[in-house]
Structure 1
């Protein structure tokens, strides 16, 4: 690499992109595993929270609240450094997968549960009046509508999980930030390397965020904060006529 000057990072950061790409592959792999396994588990937990069996319901509630209440960073340390003290040992990558899957399952379960709750109760009552079973009611009436509502926030959660993969560097997973920190330490060129890492994150997340906004609009979901901020000045304030 060339000699570092105060402003050299402005034009030297592209040289580091090929070095960081293997870390991007690991970050994407973590995202796919955490969401690909976590979302089906979240769907199962959401159904369990609606179960009539109290043990089943409370088991799901505990798993969801613990997964949402503990930061992913703490989960990473618990799995990677805490479990070995009780005789359970995982390598760095499997430990990260376990922590991210649990977190993704917990957050997605709450999103799916809320989506199910937004389906009007009258539709379920009408299906029961037509002698439909509880299973058929969920299969043909409740779940299709809940899926339409839950897809946009789940896409946004996927972007968040991709961001969170950078935390796996603390347990030596060779993802994007771990490689960036190593290269910065070797060449003492943190600004340039971290700029390259930031650009890689932007290239992935900005198009994904735009896709999430358009998907939310198409499915009739809630628009994101970023989209609302852009449109706030162009939207006239509502006229309050009375209460």
Structure 2
């Protein structure tokens, strides 16, 4: 199948958005067969003298079980009394394996005093490099969508993600990863205490609002308990999805108009 220049450029951009970093040939190559076998080097194996129990090296600690990690996350999140303290707690948290593969913690952006809080799924490659949510192509589209109803992240909107670390290859977060990180984003919403919560994408809507099927659940008002009060919440399509499915922008525009009407109401 041949592609014209425009289609090829769009395909490459989509691969980059999905986290593809390597280009492969059309035919497989056995690089192990081509490489010469390294010469074996003699290895000295000294006989270790018996050590007292107190001096024996400790075994490498195993990864924290998911249930214990979630309990630890809940305790750390509850102790945070400000957004700065919550960010510090997240930076010190070692219970989520995604932290080991991510470049940066992606905490939040925008105005915590804004009426609207947007929660996406997880950072992408651009966000992981910058340490700021929604700065790549999908973030630029999100900014244009907000501007269409008179909102800016600098003044009206506070933006975060369900997970603060990028999953490798921009894959969908696993249920265990969501469960571990959920206490932190719940506490973040509680501290910001917005008037309206906007869940962007299916994982965010499912994790925070308990609804599945973003196309079926988007555009309708629900309630979310911030820990202080019940606020209005709505789910909408993720900008990354809209870049792949431009025809669905009409649905996102309906959701934006619904949000604008709610903000304009007394």
TM-score computed with the length of structure 1 as normaliser: 0.25
The structure with the largest helix share of the pair is 1
The structure with the largest strand share of the pair is 2
- Which gives a bigger RCO, structure 1 or 2 (Cα 8 Å, sep 6+)? 1
TM-score computed with the length of structure 2 as normaliser: 0.23
